[in-house]
Structure 1
Amino acid sequence: MFLDYAEINVKAGDGGGGASSMRRESMTPRGGPDGGDGGRGADVVLRADKQLNTLLDYRYRQNYKAEPGQKGTAVNCTGRSGDHLYLRVPPGTVIRDLETGEILGDLLNDGEEMIVARGGKGGWGNARFATATNQAPRRADPGEPGEERRLALELKLIADVGLVGEPNAGKSTLLASVSAATPKVADYPFTTLTPNLGVVQLSGNRSFVMADIPGIIEGAHEGKGLGHQFLRHIERTRTLAIMIPGDALEPQEEYDRLRRELQEYSEELGTKHHCVIFTKADLLPPDWPEPRVNAPDAWGQFVISSVAQRGLDPLLEALWTRAAQVAEAERQLDEGDPEPWRP
């Protein structure tokens, strides 16, 4: 089962209390205070793990509590600190504080970590309070409480190319044709119920990741259909492929409708680089002109048949080139290049 949103409660460990103890040894009268400090409470840490691709684990358990620090003991012994609690999430998980609405972080890469709740400090033992005028203090402080938070975990899949289209536009068929992914393919709408990822392998050890989301219908940005639940997964893609069946009655209307839904969902999606792919070319008569739409913002238009394997090679080369160019522009921006490549 695919789950891309979860809410959890996390509680870091409380700090251990300090000890109030007086040194008691033979031949050592008035030994003085020797109470040790309490141990530090454990942190709650989220760690990205590429072996995961869903937040399903957090559907069945929502409360997580880290280990507290141990109390200090005599002979100036500090209590043991708690072991940190690590929670695994898929790369691409956005963490948000539900009480404040603040986005705390975004785990993109495998092994990346973020502390979401810090453990409390241990309390001081009475040995810390000894002074020249107070040589036998009995005071020992309790440990600090650990942080407690209610978090929202939101998964946004990481892919190079995102496939966008109405139901039965041929998205899953294309993904199955060019990668090892096995999305459900059938001749009725909404066969895709969850996002699918596939790795497209090209010659020269080149590859890119393609994402297919459920079909988008008019009003998707308002919650209609299934696609709205998963539009977030194509926000991270480097380029979009808007797919229209070659035999569509009004291809221009379909293109404009899809673009409008993307723009209504988010400004970022509305301005993302995209191309137009006309699918199901095998259904067109041999003398039929190639379909085209008025799409001045698109960087290319392609006509393919996934079933007949027509037009796939030039399409995949173009998608790889565009994804590589956008990746290079992102790298230049990260490095502060004053004149990065602009698509």
Structure 2
Amino acid sequence: MKKSITLKELAKLLKVSVSTVSKALNDSHEISESTKRKVEEAAKLHNYKPNRAALNLKSGKTNTIGVILPSINNFFLARALRGIESVVATTNYNIVISITNESHEKEVKSIEALTNGMVDGIIISMAEETQVLQDFSHLHDIPDDIHVLMFDRVEKSIKCDKVFVDDYDAVLKAVRDLKFKGRNKIVLASTISKLSVGKQRTKGYIDSIKDKHDPILIEGPEDFIELKLNKLLIEENIDAIVALDEEASLASFRAGKKNNLLENGKLFLIGYAGKTISEHLTPSLTTVDQHGKKVGRTSAKLLLERLKRPNKDIEEIIIDSTLLERETTLKKS
């Protein structure tokens, strides 16, 4: 790879001042067109690259956005990241991505690193541990000149733009759809009961099912849910499950398959899972589509607008989910 040349070396090579080279590269009216062409050709020939750190220091901007995610294995968050990247790619901004792996400590360290002159703004979805601990001090301490946008997992006490899915309404509608199809005993399965999104989804289930029967909640790790459901499907007349996340959806699916209830339509199942997984299961899984890419695109656009207009009113944008019906909610003849 060809070694790049510095501004000072380029000026020495051309036998002009550093100021002349800098002005020529920035298309200053003070420099003649012939000199500009000569400088530009030499810069290209000798692989001159502007010192981004120096430019940032001079302008007071980094032209970089930090994105902090709790996980990259989560299909929704992965889609949201793609949405963010698709918007930022059309601008002169760069992205720095930090994955916290659901750790509060890693989230704190990510915030500290990114706010140390690295970024102009941050897009964040909080770690599970942060929500469990209810410790948001690191988010409150972010300097005012670094703009923050929270998405999906948001905290009301943080004064910033927010983009989130109406998790309550999504599950409320899912349960109503099952009730409309004649399902009489509907179970809720969740591995995310400690997250704000899990709490909202659970509330949607409880409020929608209370006129039918007492809520039946199975909350815990994936293996616990599968074990509990296997027992419940044998002992009780369960005819539908709403699973609130991918792990709970797969545990519910395995329990339904093991008890031979899914193929014949005796058990209906609505879950949360990516298209690749849900379409390739047999029978295919009906899912709640959170429109992750749209959430990401909306988040990026809103933060970029904030960077242009720092004093505009704070916005909260809600993205509606839709139900993608597949074979696990279709009555077999």
Which TM-score band (shorter chain)? 0.3 to 0.5
Higher relative contact order (CA 8 A, sep 6+): 2
TM-score by length of 1: 0.33
More helix by share: 2
More strand by share: 1
TM-score by length of 2: 0.34
